[in-house]
Structure 1
C-alpha cells in the first residue's frame, strides 16, 4: 500500500476523514453511545467515504464509456456492511452490480474504485457481478449466499438493485431447504474451528458458538424461510416470539458493544476476547464482583448468559423453519399420537397442549417426566413448550424439592444412556437449580486460569459425560464403571463436585456442605449421605497423593488407604478422579498421570485385599531382584553393584523390565567402576512424549546443590522439565530421572542431541565450580505467553511435617515460567536444604512441585522461623523473571 504522503489527493482526504471519524465515534462510544447506534455511525462514515470515491470513479469513467451504461451500475453493500452492523475496523464487502450490456463500463469503474477504497484505509472485499451471476454463485457457495442475503443498496441505479434483489429473494424462497442446509453446514464448520461450546474461556465474540454469527444465522434462515433478515421483521411475522426477539436483541447489543471495544482497543479488527482484555473490560465496564467471584468472572458470566440464550434461540429457530417447510407443520400435528390428556407426540417433536401448558410448566414432576419421554423416544421438545417451561422455571422460587421430583431426577441419574445431554437440557431449562440451588451460582462461572477450559457448570456436566462414556469403553476404566451396580451416587457426585467454587473458602470444604444439603433434600440414607459428602470433600485426594508423593513409601499408601476406607469407595473415587480430569480440557489426563493413578489404585487395592503395603511380601519384585542379581553375577559385576540391585527403590524395579534393569545396571556399574564422575544417559520415551534422562552418581561429600546444578544444566540446554523422580539408594548413591520436553529434537538427530545434553549435565555436576552456560533465549510468537496481569492466583508454599517424622514435604504451587525449577532448586540449595525426593508436575500455566526435604543433618525442617525464611526466599525467586 502506498504511504500516506504519496497517496492521490482524494484517497488521502478519505483516509484522514476515516481516521478523524473513527476518533469522534470512539469518543461518543466511551461517553455511552449505545452499540447499535455506534455501528450505525460507523456505517454512515464508511458510506460517506465510499460515496466520494464512487462519484470520483464515475466521473473518471465518463470520458471512456457511454453515460447510459454508467447509469445502470449499482454499488451494493453486503455482509456486515450491508446490514449496517459494522465495528470500527470491520472490512467492507462491496459488489458492483451490472447488467451484462454494461460490463465494460463496470470494469472501467472498478479499476479505480477498489484501489481508492483500499488506499483510503478500508479493507475491502470486492466483486463485479451480473444479477444472474449473483444467483448462480450463491446457490453453489453458502458463504456467498449468506453474505448476499444482507444486500443493501448504496449508490447507482435503484432499478438495477431492485430487479436483482427481488429475483434473488424469490429464488431463495424456492430453494429454502437446500440453502438452509448449506448455511447450517457452513456454520458448523466455522464452529468446529472457533469453538463448539459457548463456554470457551478465550472466545471469538463473532465466530464462537452463541456469538454474533449465530444471530446472523437466524437472519440467514429467516431470509429463505420468510423473505426477511431483520430481527424486527421476523418478530412482526411471528417467526420470532417476543421472548426470543428480546433475547437476541439484548445479546446483539451486548456482543456488538464488546466487539466495538475490542476493535477500539486494538486499533484493528480483533474478535478474540483474550484473558488480559477480559480483565481490562471488566474493570472499565464497572463490574464489582462479589464474595469469592472476581469482577472478570462476573463479567464473563454475563457474556456466557448471552451466548447461552443465542445458542438456544438459534437452535429452535432452525427447528421451526424445518417444521414450517414440511407442509407448514401439518404432518406433525395430523399424525401425532396422544400420550395422556396433556401430552402429544409427533414424528419429530413432543409437546404439551396449549390449554394445559401454563399449569404443566410449573410442575417439576410433570416436566421431568416430559424430559424422560423425550429421551426415551428421541423427540425434541417443541419450542412453545420449551419456552413456557424455561420461563416458568426462571420465575419460580427455589425451595425444597418435592419427593416425586427427587425420585424422577434420581431415576434419570441412575442410567448412563444419554444422561449428559439430558442434564444439559435440564440445565438450559433451569430445572437442575430447582433441585440443586447451588447450581444457579455456578451458571456460566468462569475459572480464571489456563488450566480449566470450561466454566464450572459446563465442566461438571462434562465430568458426568466422561464417566458415562466408560460404559462402552473396552478398558480397565470401562470394566470398573460397569461393575458399579448403582451409578446414581457417582453421577450425582460428579454433577455437584465443583459447585463450591466461587467462594473465598476452599471449594472442597464448601462442596462438602453443599453435598450435605443435597443429600438431606433428596432424603438419602445415612450411608449414601456420608459417602457423597466424603467423595465431594476428598475428590482431589488421588491427584494429591499420586502426583505429589512417593508411591513406593509404605506410609504414603497406608495413609491413603486409611483415608479411603474401603474398596467400594476406592472404586468410586478412582472413576470420579479420571472423569474429572478428562472433563478439565484436552490432554490434561496424559499417560504419565494415568499411570500414576493406576499405580496408586492398585497398591491401595492390594492393601485392602491382602494387608500388604509396598515392599511387604512382594514376591514378584523379590523374584525380579533375584533374577537381576544372578544375571549381574554371571556378568562378573562388582559385588557392590549386586548389593545395590538388592537395595534398589521399588519405583525403579517397577518401571523397567528385568532385561532392561540388567542392561542399565550393568552399564551404570561399568561406568562407576571406571569413572569418578556421574553417569548420564537419555532415551526418547514415546509413552510420555518426552526424553527421559537418567543421572546416577556417588554422593560422597556432595550433598547440597546437585539437583540445582542438574536443573540449571537442562535449562541452559533449552529444555523444559515435565517431571522428575529423585531417589537416594542406601547412603551413597543418587539415582535421578527427568522427563523433559526438547523443542530441538525435531530438528536434530536424537542420539547426537541427547549426547550433547548429557555432556552439559555431567560437566555441571563433576565441575561444580564451573560457570553454567547461559540459558538459551526462547523466542515466542506474540500471545504465546500471557502477561503477568492475568496471573491472579498467589504463589502457595506449604510445609507438611505431619505425614512423616523423618522429613518435610515441601509443596510449591505457582505459575510456570522458563527456568522456574532451576530457580527453585538453587534457592533451596543456597539455604542448605537437602532434596531427598521430588515430583514435578507442570500443566499449561501452572506448576505443582513437591519435594521431600531435610536439613543437612537429615532432620525435618520444623522450625517456624526457618520455614518462613525459606518461604520468603522461594516467593522472591519464583517472582523473578530470568534475564
Structure 2
C-alpha cells in the first residue's frame, strides 16, 4: 500500500517530508514492476494502461491531501492523455489545478510543494493553474481546448466539475465544425512532417501517420462534435461501422502495446521505433528469427500493417465528419453506375459491389478517367473494405476481370490507379503475393521503405518518365520512354520485381516465376510474358554492372550487352533500373548514378548496334575518342598544335575510361602547366547539383592518393568515383567525383581546390585521417569486414585487385587509403560504392615497383586493414 495520508484538514504549510516521498516512490516502483511483468506475460494492454493511471491517481490524491487544505477552494483534474485514464510507462502526467485566482495566490506555496513532492515520488508532472475565465481565454488555442475536453476529476466537487465543463463549452469557443477543420489541418500537417507515410525505417508510433495520435484526433473530433468519449459510440450514430470499430480497437491495442514496450526498453519517453530499440523490443515481445524473416522485421511488419489500417479507416471517418457538418450534395453522374458526391466518387447501388471484382475494377476505371475526383466516397470505401474478403484473386477470376485489370494498366494515370488499389487493399487481394510483402521491411539502411511502399515509389518514378516534361534527375529517361512498345509491361515488371522478398531464396528468380504466371493468366503473348519475367529476374543486373564493374572495359560492356541481347530489352531494363534505385531511398539517386547508368546504356546500345561480334580494338577506340575530344577543345579556342601537344602528355587509357567532355576540360586546364608542376582543378558537374569533379595532375610520388582522399574527407566530401591513371614521364592523372557528405562541406569549388593544392604542396607523410563520430544508425549494423584479392585483368595495370566490403562510416575511405599508404602500396584504380550501411569498394593496387602483391604482402595488408576497420577483432581471428 501507499503511505497513509494525513487528515484532510491538515494545515496548508504541512511539510512534505522526504521519507514519505521515498516510500511512495518505492511503492510506485513495485506497482510498476508488477504491471511490467503482466505486460511481458501478454496481459491486456488497455487494462495495464488503466491500472497504471489508477495507481498514479491514488498517489496524486494522497499528495494533494498532504499539501492542500480541504477548504482551499481548488480542484484538481487530469487532462490530456492522462485525462483519458491511460498512462504509459514514461509518459508525462498532465494536471490542471482549477479554482479562483485568489485561491491560487493564497495557496501558491502549497501548490509548489505539491508538484515538488510529486516529482520526488517519481511522477513526471506537467501542470497548469487556471481559473474558469483563464481556461476560456487559454482555449482560444485549440491545443489547450483539446487537453481540457478530456479532463477527468481527481479531487473536485460537482460545482468545480460543472464550472470547468461550462468553461470548455462557452459560447463561440471552437464550434464543432471549426474544431474539426482545425484538427484535420493539424493532422495533415503532422503527416507531412513525416513525408506522409508511416513506412519509415524508424517510425514514430505516437505522432507518425497511422499512429496513436491519429486515433486520438478522431476521438477528439467525436467528443467535440457528438459528445461521445469512445469511437465505438459512433457505431450507434451511424458514422462508424461495427467492423471498423473492431478494427480500430484492435490496431489501437497493437500500437499501444508497441509504445508501452518501447518506453520500457528505452527507459525514457521515446516515441520513435529507433534502431537502438527495435531488436530488443522484438525480443521482449516474443518475436524470433526464422529462415524467412528476422524477429525485428516481423515486429515492424505488424506496425506498418496496423498504421495502414488506421489510415485507411480514419480517411473514411474524416470524410463522414465532413459530410456531417456540410451535408450531402446532389449526386453528379460521371459514368455508368457511379456519381460524384461533393467531389467524391460513389457507387449508385447501395448493395455495391457484392463481391464482384468486375464492379470494383469499373470503379477504378471511372476514377482513372475523371481526374477531378477528390477521393472515394466514405460509404463506397466502407462497402469496398467490407467486401475485400469476398473478392477473388486473379487466379480465380473471370477472363473479363483479367482483361479489365490489363485495361487499367493501359489507362491514363495507371500508376495512380495501382497506388489507389494498393492503399485500399484491392491490389493485395488481386495479387496475394503483393499482400505478403505489405508492410514488410528489411532491417538495413539501404531500403528505407517497406517492400510495398518501395514498389509504389518505383511505379511513381515510371509515371514521371511517362510525362513529356524532362526531369533533371533523369537525364535521358524521358527520351527512352517513348520507344517502349508497351509501357504496361514496364509497370508489370516494376510491380513484380520485389514481390518475392522474404520467401527465402533469390527473390529475383522467385519473382520471375510469379510474373510469368501472372502474365500467362492475363493472356499476354509469349514474347511479352518472357520480357516481363526477364526484367524481374535481371532487375539488379544493370545497377550491379554500373556500380561494381568498370564500364569503360569493352569486355564488361560486351558481357552486359550479350545478356541484354536487344535494344528493346535495354530500354526497358534501363528505365526499370533508374526507377528502382531512385525508389529505394531519397538519398540514393544522384547525378553521378544518373550519368553512370546513362553511360552504360549508351555503351551497350552501341555494342548492340555494331554487332556483338564486332568489338572495336582498343587502339581504334582511343583514336576515335581523340577526334571527338579534339573537336571539343577546338571549340574552347585552341589550335591543333596545342591540342596535339596536350594529347602527348595524357595517358591513352584516359581516352577509354573518361568522357570526351571531361577530357576536353582536363586538356584545356593542362595547357599552361609546365613539366613537374602540380595542377588541381575542381568544377561543378551540374548547375542544379552539389556534385563536384576533382582533377589532379602531378608528378607521381607515394602517398598522393591517400593525401587527396584524406583532404576530401577532412573537407566533408564523400567520393563516389575515382579514376587513378598513370601518365607519361612518371605523372598521375586522378579524377574524383565527390558530393558534400557533411554539413560543413559547402560545395564551393574554388575553396576545395585551394585546400587540395595546399595539402599536396606539403609533406604528404604528415597527413592523417581525421577522427569521426559514427552516426547512431550505423552502429546497429556492424558486421565483420570482408577482404578479397585476385589478379587484375589484362586491361588493368597488371596489379592486384583488392575488394573490400565493410560497414560504412564517416572517414572509411580515408582510413583505407591511409592503410594502403602505410603499406607502401600504389593505387591505380578505385571504384567506390555504398549501399546503405555497406561500403563495397574495389581498388587496383601494386607495390612500389608496380608489381602485383605477393602472398606475404596480401596477408600483411589484410591484417593491417582489419586492425584498422575492426579493432575489436581478436588476434588470429580468420574472419
Which TM-score bucket, shorter chain as reference? 0.7 to 0.9
How large is the Cα RMSD of the aligned pairs? 4.2
Written as runs of structure 1 = structure 2, the 5 A alignment for 1:267-282 is: 267-282=267-282
Aligned pair partner of 1:442 in 429, 437, 441: 437
Question: How big is each residue's C-alpha offset from its partner over 1:60-105, in whole Å with a ceiling of 9 and x where there is no partner?
Answer: xx7xxxx4xx34x321211111002211111122222225675655
Distance 1:563 1:218, change over 3 A: same
Question: How big is each residue's C-alpha offset from its partner over 1:382-428, in whole Å with a ceiling of 9 and x where there is no partner?
Answer: 444433433433365643443222221122222452x3442233223
Q: How far off is 1:651 after superposition?
A: 4.5
Aligned pair partner of 2:777 in 786, 790, 795: 786
Question: For residue 80 of structure 1, what is the aligned residue in structure 2?
Answer: 81
Question: For residue 198 of structure 1, what is the aligned residue in structure 2?
Answer: 198
Question: How big is each residue's C-alpha offset from its partner over 1:485-516, in whole Å with a ceiling of 9 and x where there is no partner?
Answer: 63211112112211132133233222222221
- Could you tell me how far apart the structure 2 residues matched to 1:868 and 1:313 are? 61
Gaps of 5+ in 2: 1-14, 875-879
Q: Establish whether residue 405 from structure 1 lines up as the match of residue 401 from structure 2.
A: yes
- Could you tell me how far apart the structure 2 residues matched to 1:170 and 1:487 are? 60
Question: For residue 33 of structure 1, what is the aligned residue in structure 2?
Answer: 43
Question: For residue 542 of structure 2, what is the aligned residue in structure 1?
Answer: 542
- Could you tell me how far apart the structure 2 residues matched to 1:798 and 1:430 are? 49
Question: How big is each residue's C-alpha offset from its partner over 1:174-207, in whole Å with a ceiling of 9 and x where there is no partner?
Answer: 8221111100111222222244202111011101
Distance 1:794 1:381, change over 3 A: farther
Distance 1:742 1:585, change over 3 A: closer
SS at match of 2:552: coil
Question: For residue 603 of structure 1, what is the aligned residue in structure 2?
Answer: 603
Q: How far off is 1:565 after superposition?
A: 3.0
Question: For residue 725 of structure 2, what is the aligned residue in structure 1?
Answer: 727
Question: For residue 253 of structure 2, what is the aligned residue in structure 1?
Answer: 253
- Could you tell me how far apart the structure 2 residues matched to 1:681 and 1:434 are? 59
Gaps of 5+ in 1: none
Question: For residue 736 of structure 2, what is the aligned residue in structure 1?
Answer: 738
Work out whether residues 76 and 97 of structure 1, in 8 Å CA contact, stay in contact via their aligned partners in 2: yes
Aligned pair partner of 2:631 in 608, 623, 633: 623
Question: How big is each residue's C-alpha offset from its partner over 1:524-575, in whole Å with a ceiling of 9 and x where there is no partner?
Answer: 1112112112222222233223323333333333333333333333322222
Work out whether residues 810 and 852 of structure 1, in 8 Å CA contact, stay in contact via their aligned partners in 2: yes
Q: How far off is 1:258 after superposition?
A: 1.4
Q: How far off is 1:607 after superposition?
A: 4.6
- Could you tell me how far apart the structure 2 residues matched to 1:799 and 1:501 are? 32
Work out whether residues 711 and 825 of structure 1, in 8 Å CA contact, stay in contact via their aligned partners in 2: yes
SS at match of 2:736: strand
Question: For residue 530 of structure 1, what is the aligned residue in structure 2?
Answer: 530
Aligned pair partner of 1:851 in 843, 864, 874: 843
Distance 1:753 1:870, change over 3 A: closer
- Could you tell me how far apart the structure 2 residues matched to 1:161 and 1:563 are? 78
Distance 1:264 1:102, change over 3 A: same
SS at match of 1:728: strand
Question: For residue 664 of structure 1, what is the aligned residue in structure 2?
Answer: 669
- Could you tell me how far apart the structure 2 residues matched to 1:352 and 1:203 are? 35
User: Which deviates more, 561-570 or 256-265?
Assistant: 561-570
Work out whether residues 546 and 596 of structure 1, in 8 Å CA contact, stay in contact via their aligned partners in 2: yes
Distance 1:469 1:623, change over 3 A: closer
Q: Which has the higher helix share?
A: 1
SS at match of 2:650: helix
Q: How far off is 1:36 after superposition?
A: 1.6
Q: Establish whether residue 366 from structure 1 lines up as the match of residue 354 from structure 2.
A: no
Work out whether residues 297 and 447 of structure 1, in 8 Å CA contact, stay in contact via their aligned partners in 2: yes
Q: How far off is 1:285 after superposition?
A: 1.9
- Could you tell me how far apart the structure 2 residues matched to 1:833 and 1:583 are? 39
Question: How big is each residue's C-alpha offset from its partner over 1:816-848, in whole Å with a ceiling of 9 and x where there is no partner?
Answer: 134433555577789998754222123542223
- Could you tell me how far apart the structure 2 residues matched to 1:421 and 1:503 are? 28
Written as runs of structure 1 = structure 2, the 5 A alignment for 1:307-322 is: 307-322=307-322
TM-score normalised to structure 1 length = 0.84
- Could you tell me how far apart the structure 2 residues matched to 1:573 and 1:633 are? 44
- Could you tell me how far apart the structure 1 residues matched to 2:855 and 2:346 are? 67
Work out whether residues 332 and 341 of structure 2, in 8 Å CA contact, stay in contact via their aligned partners in 1: yes
- Could you tell me how far apart the structure 2 residues matched to 1:649 and 1:303 are? 53
Distance 1:756 1:220, change over 3 A: same
- Could you tell me how far apart the structure 1 residues matched to 2:172 and 2:233 are? 17
Q: How far off is 1:31 after superposition?
A: 3.8
- Could you tell me how far apart the structure 1 residues matched to 2:536 and 2:128 are? 60
Written as runs of structure 1 = structure 2, the 5 A alignment for 1:574-585 is: 574-585=574-585
Question: How big is each residue's C-alpha offset from its partner over 1:688-735, in whole Å with a ceiling of 9 and x where there is no partner?
Answer: 6366543434559x7xx7645754676678765443222234695432
User: Which deviates more, 451-460 or 642-651?
Assistant: 642-651
Question: How big is each residue's C-alpha offset from its partner over 1:553-610, in whole Å with a ceiling of 9 and x where there is no partner?
Answer: 3333333333333333332222222222222222321122222222333333445556
- Could you tell me how far apart the structure 1 residues matched to 2:419 and 2:788 are? 38
Q: Establish whether residue 22 from structure 1 lines up as the match of residue 29 from structure 2.
A: no
SS at match of 2:68: helix
- Could you tell me how far apart the structure 1 residues matched to 2:851 and 2:521 are? 50
SS at match of 1:737: strand
Work out whether residues 721 and 739 of structure 1, in 8 Å CA contact, stay in contact via their aligned partners in 2: yes
Q: How far off is 1:361 after superposition?
A: 3.7
Q: Establish whether residue 776 from structure 1 lines up as the match of residue 776 from structure 2.
A: no
Q: How far off is 1:313 after superposition?
A: 1.4
User: Which deviates more, 525-534 or 542-551?
Assistant: 542-551
- Could you tell me how far apart the structure 2 residues matched to 1:840 and 1:284 are? 39
TM-score normalised to structure 2 length = 0.84
Written as runs of structure 1 = structure 2, the 5 A alignment for 1:296-445 is: 296-327=296-327, 331-332=328-329, 335=331, 345-352=340-347, 356-357=351-352, 360-377=353-370, 378=373, 380-394=375-389, 398=393, 399-417=395-413, 419-445=414-440
Work out whether residues 787 and 802 of structure 2, in 8 Å CA contact, stay in contact via their aligned partners in 1: no
- Could you tell me how far apart the structure 2 residues matched to 1:806 and 1:349 are? 66
- Could you tell me how far apart the structure 1 residues matched to 2:851 and 2:528 are? 43
- Could you tell me how far apart the structure 2 residues matched to 1:516 and 1:859 are? 50
Work out whether residues 771 and 811 of structure 2, in 8 Å CA contact, stay in contact via their aligned partners in 1: no
SS at match of 1:656: helix
